Structure 1
Amino acid sequence: MSSQLSRRTLLAGVGVLGLAACSNEGRGGPTGGSGNAAGVRPAYQRYTGVKPDFAGAEYNIPDAFNRYPADPVQAITQPPGDGRPISITTYTNTPIPPKLEQNRFWQELNRRVGSPVTVSLTPSVDYNQKFATVVAGDRLSDIFMVGAVPQVPQLLGAKAADLTAHLSGDNIKKYPYLANLPETAWNNCIYGNKIYGVPIPRGAISSQALYSRADLLEKQGLNAGIKSADDFIELCKQLTDKRRNRFALATSPTQYVRNMFDMPNNWREDGSTLVHYYEHESHEAAFEVLRKLWSAGYVHPDAFSGQNQDMKVRFGSGTSALVQDTFSGWPSYLQTAVDKDARIGIIAPPKHDGSGTGKIWLGAPAIGFVAINKKAESRVETLLAYLNFLAAPFGTQEYLFRKFGLPGLHHQVVDGNPVLTQKGFSEVQLGLMYQADGPWTIFLPEKAGNAEAEFNAMKQTCPTALADPAAGLYSETNVRKGPQLNEDMTQLTNDIIQGRKPVSAWAGAVKKWKSGGGDKIAEEFAQALEASR
């Protein structure tokens, strides 16, 4: 390993790094590579083995299914394993599952893989610290989720197997379900014209939107078709009844209001340079809207404290009829709904002045990537075959097992669909979706009609969503300084909304952000963007 990649260097960067949590997921991987991705990018080969009820490709959104195929195809004919153990280090956002001895799902997974699988799981919020410690101690598993630590390109060159010969161009077709991963997701894995990993794809499903309890709005005779910021404030007023402990918004709708003002998704291109949304001219106007919502009491008083799960409980109980979250959170909102007749809707952002429809921010193509330990280079084909097994798509026997386990034990078939049992939910949480995964599919067997509802909501909002031009690119300054810089801006944002700081404080903070590293981050991302073309 490079002498610059010392234990002190790795651990020093972690204190300011943290995983950016969304409804279901943290982000363990760093922003991706800066090499010429177009030169080595794996060929894309879409899986067409199952016909969706609602096809999403035209709209750049996931396919949706009302039912799981009654006779799912077998995607993998030979176990991918070689009989030797396969070790994995990754993170999780669910409770740690029972140990192998008490876990029937894990035992069956080992049988189907053809190798005993050992998994070291860490809660996502703690993963960067754990990853840095493991790297510094030279204790990486065969397959590992790459955490956000300094000098990722150097780390990969020293510790990860070069997968270029196996995955570039048509070579990837030996692993057809890895070839089914979206092309842009591979940006995360390419450094210096070499492929160092396999991405965990997400894309549009990780875009944030404003959820509504459509049933509660309907009971009050309220129209969700708002046309302006003033309409939104009025809707929130009508949904708030403090005497009954009801507040329109479970959390501050900060990003939703920014969407009303056409702020870019992190960055926008200005010629050969990149400009951050912090520098957008409409921040003061957006803050005025957010301050009105807070000062009027339309936002839950605990919105800036507590855990991520709290906002789901508020929404599910009807305490708050509106909440901002990612589309991937839809299943969890179904599960937390107390009223069996609860209906979920999405309210698209209007332009603040009533001049049209605002644009949401498109989710990043990948949430991270896994690499293969250079010490396991002699087993690269076996380990890629294992990841290919985990990426088997919706409609296959492998996907059904991976997500729902064994019938009668881990899931029951209800109206033709698999629904996890309590034992199933406990045992299947092996972090498999943070080792490898197929493209996200909208499948909501918990309640009929919701797959179509979510699909239509995404169809309405995602085709015009703003992409982040720097998504999947790497900036060393961003890894080292970005988390603390962004935390400072987030804290100021919250202080301004709650009236602890004046709106005028924003301009000075932006100047400090720029001089403290923001301008350097913009420069590095611009260079990486140019190199990727």
Structure 2
Amino acid sequence: MSTGDSRIGRRALLGGVGALGLTGVVGGCSNEGRGGTAGKGGNAPQSQVRPAYVPYTGVKPDLAGAEYNIPNAFTRYPADPVRAVTTPPGDGKPIQVLTFTNTPIPPKLEQNRFWQEFNQRVGSPVSISLTPSVDYTQKFATSVAGDQLGDIFMVGAVPQIPSLLEAKATDLTPHLSGDKIKKYPFLANLPELHWNSCIFGDKIYAVPVPRGAISSQALYSRADILEKQGVKAEVKSADDFLELCKALTDRRQNRFALATSPTPFVRNMFDMPNTWSEDGKKVVSYYEHEAHEQVFEILRKLWTSGYIHPDAFSGQNQDMKVRFGNGSSPLVVDTFSAWPSYLQTAVDPNARIGIIGPPKHDGSGQGKIWLGAPNLSTTAIGKKAEGRVETMLAYLNFLAAPFGTQEYLFRKFGLPVVHHKVVDGNPVLTDRGFSETQLGLMYTADGPWTIFLPEKEGNSALEFEAMKRLCPDALANPVAGLYSETNVRKGSQLTADMDQLTSDIIQGRKPVSAWAGAVKKWKSGGGDKIAEEYAEALEASR
């Protein structure tokens, strides 16, 4: 790469931020970053540098998910968890971390017993700069421009990602490629797929924060309410779904079947591709699928009939969880990873969660959900910390300690009595525990997701069985993890425009016919270029 290629201009960096949102985080929902040639902005095979995969076998799951491509599930935390990290990873010097959070900002270090104990166990004082996820792209861009990234940072969605990493991040290839990763066994516990978004130009620049199937979306139901109403959870067609929503809606009791618009669920009824699909050597956006008008007809019926909560298109993400929890909306679309939050927001102690799979719209069989993106994000080590790279990797390895270890138990549940109580042999967070432990650790590094729901007996098995039923046939995004510079620059704004039109059509503010024109505008405004770059990256990655 030439010197000119590696420069990251402040104007270019900040100028591209307005079009970027949370889903632009590299390796996350925007499906970027699957390796690449930094100088060319493309993607290349990574067999020479890809880290070895050495799965952790220290604990046997109660329900094994590997056969179904879903997480393992556990009903009990081991009574005598193993100490997996015998030497504190820190070197006594401060570790500065930049990341985001999806929960309220925790108490400061001085008032946070968990944070204090965490620093003791790490062996270094850890300073964590937390930003709400919706604001992280702007924060990241400002930090890059001001040269304030710190020692460890979540890679945000800004232009020129390959060049940025080459300029600002430590090359981890000498430490993680091939069998070298075995020095960090819990990073080696991350399957090969998750490393796709960390490799550029045959160099490893980041560590993945894995998700995968657990981030797939499905239709949650309040099974207890459906049972009281005498309504069957199984739906075999679009008409069945409309009847279910009708039966669950009672305006006199201020109850609306759906907490938000079930747009993904209805799209699943028509086998729409997961964001992109392959057509020979081309990739095609799901925006171009022929069934959008039929999807909108169903969604508009749900809206005009009053089956969707009237505030569904306003307010915060937490609002839909509250509606589901208090029973005012017994159906909601969300990721499988949200299951714990729905247990926490349930007002009725007898509330039960169920998952309804999408049918084919015409009743001809079962629809398919979309498989979640492999990674939530990726985490890099700043070039200024290059001299302490082994300490930084040891810290990330510590954070990735898997289920069944003392480290996982402390990281997720804090100290006994202080942060969690033991219920039927399992740790359950107290209010103080939930508040103090929200340091964004799971967004810095993490092991493979584990289904463990100690809040309520039986829920680990329930979620496992729901995922076992729906995820093996889920539709994958063929360009998940691939990098498109145009998508980084323009993708979020283009998607936001299409999302806004979707909302307008559902609510009757725009006609269904507006969709075709919007797709043409999307294509000419950057969509075709994104598709072209993804197609090239897909071909190069094979």
Classify the TM-score, shorter chain.
over 0.9
- The partner residue of 2:99 within 90, 105, 119 is 90
- AA aligned to 1:9 is A
Q: 1:8 aligns with which of 11, 23, 26?
A: 11
Aligned: 1:364 with 2:367 = no
What corresponds to 2:159 in structure 1? 150
Which one of 144, 162, 171 corresponds to residue 135 of structure 1?
A: 144
Aligned match for 2:303, one of 282, 294, 299: 294
Q: Which amino acid aligns with 1:418?
A: P
Aligned to 1:60: 69
Give the counterpart letter for 2:453 in structure 1: L
SS in 1 for 2:394: helix
SS of equivalent residue, structure 1 residue 364: coil
Task: Tell me whether 1:256 sits opposite 2:265 in the alignment.
Answer: yes
Asked if structure 2 preserves the Cα contact closer than 8 Å seen for 1:164 and 1:195, the reply is yes
CA shift digits 1:389-408 (9 cap, x unpaired): 00000000000010011111
State whether residues 221 and 356 of structure 2, in contact with CA within 8 Å, keep that contact through their aligned partners in structure 1.
Answer: yes
Aligned equivalent of 1:347: 356
Residues 1:306 and 2:315 are matched in the alignment: yes
Equivalent-residue separation in structure 2 for 1:98 and 1:471 (angstroms)? 36
Classify the secondary structure of the residue corresponding to 1:177. helix
Which residue of 2 is the match for residue 188 of structure 1? 197
For 1:101 and 1:310, locate their aligned partners in 2 and report how far apart those are by CA, in whole Å. 31
Counterparts of 1:108 and 1:426, CA distance in 2: 15
1:446 aligns with 2:449: no
Q: Is the 8 A contact 1:29 1:367 kept in 2?
A: no
Distance 1:29 1:517 in 2: 16
For 1:320, which of 326, 329, 346 is the aligned residue? 329
Q: Which amino acid aligns with 1:16?
A: A
- Cα shift at 1:182: 2.1
What CA distance in whole angstroms lies between the structure 2 residues aligned with 1:234 and 1:136? 54
Return 5+ residue gaps in structure 1 as ranges.
Answer: none
**Is the CA contact (8 Å cut-off) linking 2:14 and 2:141 kept in structure 1?**
yes
For residues 43-58 of structure 1, the aligned pairs below 5 Å read 43-58=52-67
The separation in 2 between residues aligned to 1:222 and 1:21, in whole angstroms, is 40
- The count of aligned residue pairs is 531
CA contact (8 A) 1:28 1:128 kept: no
Give distance in 2, aligned partners of 1:424 and 1:132. 32
- Residue 37 of structure 1 deviates from its aligned partner by 3.0
Aligned-residue offset at 1:32? 4.5
Shift of 1:4: 4.7
| 1:492-521 superposed Cα distances (whole Å, 9 cap, x missing partner) | 111111111111111111111111110100
Deviation of 1:289 after TM superposition, in Å, equals: 0.8
RMSD: 1.6
Distance in 2 of aligned mates of 1:406 and 1:511? 56
Aligned to 1:385: 394
Q: Does 1:124 align with 2:133?
A: yes
> Which of the numbers 20, 24, 45 marks the counterpart of 2:23?
20
Question: SS at the partner of 1:181?
Answer: coil
Distance 1:480 1:69 in 2: 46
Q: Residues 24 and 30 of structure 2 are in contact (CA less than 8 Å); yes or no, is this contact kept in structure 1?
A: no
Q: Is the 8 A contact 2:55 2:188 kept in 1?
A: yes
Deviation at 1:154, TM superposition (A): 0.5
- Offset at 1:427? 1.2
Which stretch of the first structure deviates more once superposed, 424-433 or 196-205? Answer: 424-433
Aligned amino acid, residue 23 of structure 2:
A
Q: What residue is the counterpart of 1:457 in the other structure?
A: 466
Distance between the aligned counterparts of 1:67 and 1:131, measured in 2? 39
Equivalent residue runs for 1:177-216 within 5 Å: 177-216=186-225
Q: Look up the SS of the partner of 1:370 in the other structure.
A: strand
Note if contact 1:30-1:147 (Cα within 8 Å) is conserved in structure 2: no
Task: Report the 3-state secondary structure (helix = DSSP H, G, I; strand = E; otherwise coil) of the residue aligned with 2:265.
Answer: helix
- Find the residue that maps to 1:38 and give its secondary structure: coil
Corresponding residue SS for 1:119: strand
Number of the residue aligned with 1:220: 229
Q: Following the alignment from structure 2 to structure 1, what is the Cα–Cα distance between the partners of residues 509 and 494?
A: 20
Alpha-carbon distance between aligned partners in 2 of 1:35 and 1:155, rounded to the nearest angstrom: 18
- Measured in 1, the distance between the counterparts of 2:230 and 2:280 equals 48
Look up the match of 1:171.
Answer: 180
Alpha-carbon distance, 1:15 to partner: 1.1
Q: Name the aligned partner's letter for residue 186 of structure 1.
A: W
Residue aligned with 1:287, SS:
helix
Residue 497 of structure 2 corresponds to which residue in structure 1?
Answer: 488
> Does the 8 A contact of 2:32 with 2:484 survive in 1?
no
Matches within 5 A, 1:106-117: 106-117=115-126
Match of 2:39 in 1: none
Q: In 1, are the aligned partners of 2:24 and 2:492 still within 8 Å (CA)? A: no
Q: Aligned partners of 1:110, 1:214: CA distance in 2, in Å?
A: 42
The answer to whether the Cα contact below 8 Å between 1:390 and 1:437 also exists between their aligned partners in 2 is yes
Q: The residue matched to 1:412 in structure 2 has which SS?
A: strand
Give the counterpart of 2:441 among 410, 432, 442. Answer: 432
Question: What secondary structure, in the 3-state scheme, does the structure 1 residue paired with 2:19 have?
Answer: coil
Query: Is the counterpart of residue 285 in structure 1 residue 294 in structure 2?
Result: yes
- Distance change (3 Å), C-alpha of 1:430 and 1:77: same
Identity %: 77
The TM-score with structure 1 as length reference comes to: 0.97
Residue pairs, 1:469-508, within 5 angstroms: 469-508=478-517
Amino acid at match of 1:405: G
Provide Cα deviations, 1:163-215, integer angstroms capped at 9, x if missing partner. 11211111111111001112111111111111100000000000000000001
Per-residue displacement from partner, 1:91-133 (whole Å, max 9, x unpaired)? Answer: 1111111222221111111111111111111111111101111
Task: Report the 3-state secondary structure (helix = DSSP H, G, I; strand = E; otherwise coil) of the residue aligned with 1:456.
Answer: helix
- CA drift of 1:30 comes to 5.8
**One-letter identity of the residue aligned with 1:46:** P
What is the rounded CA distance, in whole Å, between the counterparts of 1:244 and 1:117 in structure 2?
A: 50
Shift of 1:158: 0.5
CA displacement at 1:231 relative to structure 2? 0.5
Shift of 1:28: 10
Deviation by residue 1:251-272 (Cα, 9 ceiling, x = unmatched):
0000100000000000111111
2 CA distance for matches of 1:151 and 1:247?
45
1:162 aligned residue? 171
TM (norm. structure 2) is 0.96
Change (3 A) 1:468 1:515: same
Deviation (angstroms), 1:39: 3.5
Deviations 1:261-319 (A, max 9, x none): 00000011111110110000111111111111111111111111111011111111111
Asked if 1 retains the 8 angstrom alpha-carbon contact of 2:29 and 2:373, the reply is no
SS at match of 1:20: helix
Matched, 1:333 2:342: yes
Aligned residue for 1:443, secondary structure, equals coil
Q: Which amino acid aligns with 1:362?
A: L
AA paired with 1:165?
A: P
Correspondence for 1:39 among 42, 48, 66: 48
1:396 counterpart = 2:431: no
